[in-house]
Amino acid sequence: MESWREQPVVFWTFLLPGAFWLLGFFLAPLALIWLYSFGERAGPVDIVVTGTRENYLAALDPIYLGLFWKSFWIAALATATTLVIAFPVALAVSFAPARLKPLLLLLVILPFWTNLLIRTYAMIAVLRTRGYANFALEAIWDLVGAGSGLLGIALQAFEPLTLLYSNAAVVIGIVYVYLPFMVLPLYATLERMDRSYLEASLDLGAGHLRTFMSVVVPLARPGILSGVILVLVPALGTFLISDLLGGPDSQLIGNVIERQFKAANNWPLGAAMSFLLMYVTFAALALRAFLAERDV
Partner 1 sequence: MSEPAGPLDYDRRLWLRAWLAATFVFLYAPIVILIAFSFNDSRRNIVWRGFTLDYYARAWNDTSLIEAFTNSIVIALLATAISTTIGALLALALWRFRFPGKAAVEGALALPIVIPEICMGVALMAFFSRIGWPTGLPWPLNLGAIVAGHVAFCFPFVAIVVRARMAGFDRALEEASKDLGAGEWQTLRYITLPYMRPGLVAGALLAMTLSLDDFVITFFTSGPDTLTFPVKVYSMVRFGATPTVNAASTVLILVTVLLTVIAVRLQRPERTIVEGPRA
Stretch that binds partner 1, among 57-65, 137-145, 150-158, 271-279 (CB under 8 A): 271-279
Instruction: Please report, as residue ranges, which positions from 13 to 72 form the binding site for partner 1 (by CB under 8 A).
Output: 13-15, 17-19, 21-22, 25-30, 32-33, 36, 45
Q: Cβ closer to partner 1: 70 or 119?
A: 119
Residues 167-186 vs partner 1: string with x where CB under 8 A?
---------x--x-------
Stretch that binds partner 1, among 48-56, 61-69, 142-150, 255-263 (CB under 8 A): 255-263
Report in angstroms how near the CB of residue 6 gets to partner 1 at its nearest.
Answer: 8
Instruction: Please report, as residue ranges, which positions from 145 to 164 form the binding site for partner 1 (by CB under 8 A).
Output: none
Report in angstroms how near the CB of residue 53 gets to partner 1 at its nearest.
Answer: 19
**CA-CA distance, 246 to 238, in Å (whole number)?**
11
Angle ∠(52,58,60) on CA atoms, nearest 5:
115
Report in angstroms how near the CB of residue 146 gets to partner 1 at its nearest.
Answer: 22
Instruction: Please report, as residue ranges, which positions from 78 to 97 form the binding site for partner 1 (by CB under 8 A).
Output: 85, 88-89, 91-93, 95-97
Report in angstroms how near the CB of residue 124 gets to partner 1 at its nearest.
Answer: 6
In the list 99, 157, 195, 295, the residue contacting partner 1 (rule: CB under 8 A) is: 195
Instruction: Please report, as residue ranges, which positions from 106 to 135 form the binding site for partner 1 (by CB under 8 A).
Output: 107-108, 110-119, 121-126, 130, 132
Q: Is there binding between residue 228 and partner 1 (CB under 8 A)?
A: no
**CA-CA distance, 65 to 205, in Å (whole number)?**
50
Q: Cβ closer to partner 1: 224 or 253?
A: 253
User: Quick check: helix, strand or coil at residue 41?
Assistant: strand
**Count of residues that bind partner 1 according to CB under 8 A:** 83
Sequence-ordered alpha helix ranges (H) in 96-131: 101-109, 116-127
**CA-CA distance, 166 to 162, in Å (whole number)?**
8
Q: Cβ closer to partner 1: 124 or 291?
A: 124
**CA-CA distance, 296 to 293, in Å (whole number)?**
6
**CA-CA distance, 222 to 220, in Å (whole number)?**
6
Q: Is there binding between residue 103 and partner 1 (CB under 8 A)?
A: no
Report how far apart, in Å, the C-alpha atoms of 48 and of each of 37, 42, 51, 123, 296 are.
10, 6, 9, 43, 48
**CA-CA distance, 219 to 181, in Å (whole number)?**
19
Contact predicate 182/83, CB 8 Å: yes
Q: Which residues have C-beta within 8 Å of that of residue 60, sequence separation ≥ 6?
A: 276
Q: Cβ closer to partner 1: 108 or 224?
A: 108
Rounded to the nearest 10 degrees, the angle between the axes of helix 267-295 and helix 62-95 is 40
Stretch that binds partner 1, among 59-67, 101-109, 151-159, 219-227 (CB under 8 A): 101-109
Handedness of CA 121, 123, 129, 132 (dihedral sign): positive
Report in angstroms how near the CB of residue 217 gets to partner 1 at its nearest.
Answer: 14
